[in-house]
């Protein structure tokens, strides 16, 4: 149980042996009174890593308290620190130091996601999912999110775009079979079948990111180009086709380079939504 403490959630104060103090002070809470956070974005916990942390906790104790919110009498829910909580159970602890906060579900979700995003051991897909949840469920713009987590807006966009890749490729990113650089190059290809073929080639031949970028430029949008060239009497020259492929790879979008016989023309950069437009503007240093 929470030692000598009764917490009043509505007033945000704790009564500790007759002395009033703000909720937020560190208190030891019985592990049996704590439940996991249903909003926890992290789903994979490495057993070896947990056992190592449990061994450290046995030797050194818990240096950084977990953060919980009070649900009711002798009942708490983890906001952040689930890994420490799990390792403490493995270590055989009966109580754990915790920082008590009051939070509604949305603010709790936001705190849990932001806290977990800062972790060094999250894989790229977990980060992408966390970013997407913050944007959609906490009604944050990419700019607001980038400010809260201390990352560039383009970084946020690049992670979220990973979730547009086929599930097989997302699993490969999660399991670090391919890198973020490989994934970004694959996003420059607008055909799912080609993305999967290129992914298999990356794994089989252990291609570098530069190899994949070159492959995306050379093969990524050939079928799309042929269809357009059949409809357009003023076909692009080989040089302009290369330029169009380079631009498509750079912007991660199907760029259209239109040129008339007199040499004039225009570049069309499509975008799917406001988020995609912001990504393109970031690439243009706007």
CA dihedral sign of residues 73, 77, 80, 82:
positive
Please name every residue paired with 268 in a beta bridge, in sequence order, or none if there are none.
Answer: 256
Distance, CA of 183 to CA of 159 (rounded, Å): 10
Instruction: Tell me how far CA of residue 94 lies from CA of 2, 80, 230, in angstroms.
Output: 11, 19, 72
Burial of 176 (0-12, 13-18, 19+ CB in 10 A): exposed
3-class secondary structure, 130: helix
The alpha carbon of residue 247 and the mean position of all alpha carbons in its chain are separated, in whole angstroms, by 26
Residue 62: how many CB atoms within 10 A of its CB? Answer: 21
Residues 68, 34 contacting (CB under 8 angstroms): yes
Q: Which of 3, 35, 82, 239 is catalytic?
A: 82
Residues 80, 112 contacting (CB under 8 angstroms): yes
Catalytic residue list contains 272: no
Residues annotated as catalytic are: 82
């Amino acid at each position: 149980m929470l030692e000598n403490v009764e917490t009043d959630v509505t007033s945000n104060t704790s009564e500790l042996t007759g002395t009033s103090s703000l909720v937020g002070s560190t208190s030891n809470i019985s592990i049996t009174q704590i439940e996991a956070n249903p909003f926890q974005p992290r789903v994979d916990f490495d057993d070896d890593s947990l056992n190592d942390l449990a061994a450290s906790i046995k030797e050194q104790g818990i240096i950084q308290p977990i953060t919980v919110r009070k649900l009711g009498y002798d009942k708490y829910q983890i906001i952040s620190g689930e890994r420490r909580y799990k390792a403490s159970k493995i270590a055989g602890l009966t109580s754990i130091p915790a920082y008590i906060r009051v939070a509604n579900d949305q603010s709790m979700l936001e705190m849990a996601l932001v806290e977990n995003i800062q972790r060094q051991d999250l894989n790229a897909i977990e980060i992408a999912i966390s970013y997407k949840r913050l944007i959609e469920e906490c009604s944050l713009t990419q700019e607001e999110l980038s400010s809260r987590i201390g990352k560039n807006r383009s970084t946020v966009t690049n992670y979220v775009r990973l979730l547009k890749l086929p599930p097989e490729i997302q699993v490969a990113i999660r399991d670090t079979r391919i890198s973020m650089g490989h994934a970004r190059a694959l996003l420059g290809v607008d055909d799912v079948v080609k993305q999967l073929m290129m992914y298999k080639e990356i794994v089989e031949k252990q291609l570098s990111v530069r190899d994949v970028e070159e492959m995306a430029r050379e093969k990524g949008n050939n079928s799309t180009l042929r269809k357009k060239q059949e409809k357009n009497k003023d076909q692009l020259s080989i040089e302009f086709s290369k330029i169009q492929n380079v631009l498509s790879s750079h912007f991660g979008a199907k760029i259209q380079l239109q040129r008339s016989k007199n040499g004039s023309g225009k570049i069309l950069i499509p975008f799917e939504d406001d988020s995609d437009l912001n990504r393109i503007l970031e690439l243009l240093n706007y």
